Amino acid sequence: MDKIIPNNSIPKSEYWDLITSTLSTYEVKDISNDGKVTRRVVNDDYFLVNDVWNIHEIGKIPNFEEQYNKRKGIVNNIYFNCVNPNVNMEIKFVYYNQIFSDRWGILSIFKSISGSLRKLAEYLNERHPNLTSLLDLDIKREQKLWTFWLNGKGEKTIYIKKMRGEEIVARTEIDGFLARIYNTLFQLTDTRDEWEKDRWDVRVLNKKYGIDFNESTSCHRIDFSNIENKNFSKIFKEYIKGRLISGKNFTWGTALSYGTYTIRFLNSIAKQNPKWNDFKKLERKHIETYIEELKEHTKTKLNKKNSNPKKYVRQALKCVRAL
C-alpha cells in the first residue's frame, strides 16, 4: 500500500489522482428560461495546466456568467506562484472546489483575497520550497511562524470583534489564510465519514444523514479540534451525534451552542485532571473551579454595556448539566 499523506488517511497515489482528475474536468450548470437546471461534465484541463487563471476564460463557464458581468474594477488574472508544483496544485485544487461549490465567488478570488494568495506564495517559496505537500506542515506551529512573518512585512494580523456580546481578538483575513487553505485541503481530501472528523460540516451531514439546518445560516461547522483531551472529545462527539440523529428537541443551532459553551468546560476539567479519560470521578469541587473560571472569563471578556455575564454563565452551565 502507498504511504499515507501526513495528517490524512488517504494513500498518496489516490490523493494525487483525486486532485489531478478533479482539476481536469468541471461541472456546468445550465439554467433554461423556465428555470430548469441541467448539469453536464466538461473535460477541460484549463485549471490543471494553467498557473495563471484569467477571469475572461472563467467567465465563459455558465456557472459564473452572472458574477463575470459584475466584474467592474477587478484584475484580469490571479497567479499561483509557488515554485513547488505540488503545493501549487494543492492550492489550485482548493480554489477550484471553493468556486465550483459557490463557497467563494470569482469576484472574491480575483479581488479581495488575491493579495493573501500572493503573500502565501511568497512565504512558502521562502520557507518551504521543497515541501512535498501542504499537509506535511504542523499547522499550529506554522500558523505562529506565518503570523510572525506577516508582522515582519507590516501586515495587520489581528482586530477586535464582538460575538454574542463578547469582545474577542480575531485574526485578519490574511492571517487566517494559511490555515484556511490547509484546513479546506484537508477536508476536501479526508475520506473518513463526517462523524469521525474533528470538524463537522452540516451540509455534508444533511446530504448523508438528513440532519436539518437553517440554510440561511453562515455557521456550517462545529470544530472539536480545540478539545485538549481526545477521550473527552470522543465522548462529546458521540453525545452531539446521538442528539442530532434522534432529532428530539436538538437542532443544529443547539449543537453549535453546545460547542461554544461546553468545550471550555471540557478543557477546564482536563486541566484540573490531566490523566482522566472519563467523568466518573467528577465532583462538586471540579464544577466549582469551572464556575470560578467562567466568572473570571466574563469579567475580562464580557465587560461591555450590552453584555450579559449572568446569562452567559447560566447558558454555559445549562449545556454542561445536560451532558
State the DSSP code for 5. Answer: P
Q: Are 183 and 198 in contact (CB under 8 A)?
A: no
Look up residue 167 and give its amino acid: E
Closest C-alpha among 203, 191, 181, 162 to residue 308: 162
**Crossing angle for the helix pair 252-272 and 230-246, to the nearest 10 degrees:** 160
Look up residue 140 and give its amino acid: K
Q: Are 266 and 229 in contact (CB under 8 A)?
A: yes
* Domain range list for the chain: 12-180, 192-321
Q: Are 263 and 227 in contact (CB under 8 A)?
A: yes
Closest C-alpha among 176, 143, 146 to residue 159: 176
pLDDT digits (tens, 9 = 90+) for 196-228: 988 898 888 998 999 988 877 778 889 898 899
Look up residue 24 and give its amino acid: S
Q: Coil, strand or helix: which one is 254?
A: helix
Start-end of H helices in the chain: 12-23, 46-49, 55-58, 65-68, 85-100, 106-107, 114-127, 139-152, 177-189, 202-209, 230-246, 252-272, 284-301, 309-321
Tell me what pLDDT residue 1 has. 39
- Longest C-alpha distance within the chain, in Å? 67
Tell me what pLDDT residue 303 has. 59
Measured between alpha carbons, how far is 319 from 303 in angstroms, rounded to an integer?
A: 22
Classify each residue of 110-120 as buried b or exposed e, where b means 16 or more C-beta atoms within 10 Å of its C-beta.
bbebbebbebb
What is the pTM assigned to this prediction?
0.71
**DSSP characters over 72-123:** TT--SEEE---SSHHHHHHHHHHHHHHHHTTSS-HHIIIIITHHHHHHHHHH
Output the nine-digit C-alpha cell for 80. Answer: 499561483
Across the chain, which has 323 residues, the per-10-residue mean pLDDT values are 58 88 91 78 95 95 91 90 95 96 90 92 96 93 96 91 72 94 91 88 89 80 90 94 88 90 92 92 92 84 65 84 75
